[in-house]
């Protein structure tokens, strides 16, 4: 409450007391002062409610901003570890150790989606991508992450050995989402080539 508003309330209250002492409760002046006091009290109540609402909105916004920042940092860390694993899986241990680490970076039940090869479970998807028959590495040359850390993606080149022993290079784009803890909750891989061409390169090399 401002000093001016408080002053009005005190003055009005004082005049009411004077009116009471002077037995002027029936006078027009007393009635006018009573109405002014009621209006002032109502205004003070409105201002108090507005202040409380503004404070609550500020507190909610601050918590949301803090949560978004935390989610962003966690998702960024998850994303960077995944890129490092794709670039050099052997630096993170054996095949099973790498897959165990990747399992820790995703929500249980997350699907590894691929436009050309189809969608499979998280662990089988990574096994097929990094190990299997292709002996592949993935070089990430661009990436992004939303301000709240909920979605991100990357552009990359997938290099390895095709089914016939010839080398191959496939370019693609990965689109992912992350949960509140910065863990992968979905992944979908797309290619600029037609699906049939992607499968041919995978089998015959390029």
pLDDT tens digits for range 83-124:
999 989 999 999 999 999 999 999 999 999 999 999 999 999
- Per-residue pLDDT of 101-111, as tens digits, reads 999 999 999 99
Q: Which residue has the higher pLDDT, 80 or 164?
A: 80
Res. 9: pLDDT tops 70: no
Give the count of domains, the chain: 1
Domain with residue 123: its CATH number is 3.10.450.50
Q: Which residue segment(s) compose the domain that 179 sits in?
A: 1-206
Percent of the chain residues past pLDDT 70, beyond the cut: 73
For residues 152 and 144, is the Cβ–Cβ distance under 8 A?
A: yes
Can you tell me whether residue 131 is helix, strand or coil?
A: coil
Q: How confident is the model at residue 20 (pLDDT cuts 50, 70, 90)?
A: very low
Q: Long-range contacts made by residues 135-143, C-beta under 8 angstroms, separation at least 24? A: 135/160, 135/161, 136/160, 136/161, 137/86, 137/87, 137/88, 137/89, 138/86, 138/87, 139/86, 139/87, 140/83, 140/86, 140/87, 143/79, 143/83
Report the mean per-residue pLDDT for the chain: 81
pLDDT of residue 197: 94
């Amino acid at each position: 409450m401002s000093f001016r508003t408080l002053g009005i309330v005190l003055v009005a209250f004082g005049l009411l007391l004077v009116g009471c002492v002077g037995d002027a409760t029936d006078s027009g002046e007393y009635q006018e002062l009573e109405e002014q006091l009621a209006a002032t009290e109502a205004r003070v109540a409105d201002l108090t409610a507005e202040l409380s609402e503004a404070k609550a909105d500020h507190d909610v916004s601050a918590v949301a901003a803090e949560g978004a920042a935390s989610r962003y940092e966690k998702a960024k860390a998850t994303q960077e570890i995944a890129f490092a694993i794709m670039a050099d899986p052997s630096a993170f241990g054996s095949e099973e150790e790498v897959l165990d680490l990747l399992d820790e970076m995703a929500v249980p039940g997350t699907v590894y989606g691929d436009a050309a090869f189809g969608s499979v479970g998280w662990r089988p998807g990574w096994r097929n991508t990094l190990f299997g028959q292709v002996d592949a590495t993935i070089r990430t040359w661009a990436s992004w992450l939303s301000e709240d850390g909920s979605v991100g993606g990357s552009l990359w080149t997938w290099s390895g050995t095709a089914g016939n022993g010839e080398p191959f290079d496939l370019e693609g784009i990965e689109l992912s989402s992350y949960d509140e803890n910065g863990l992968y909750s979905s992944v979908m891989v797309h290619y600029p080539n037609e699906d049939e061409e992607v499968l041919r390169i995978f089998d015959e090399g390029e």
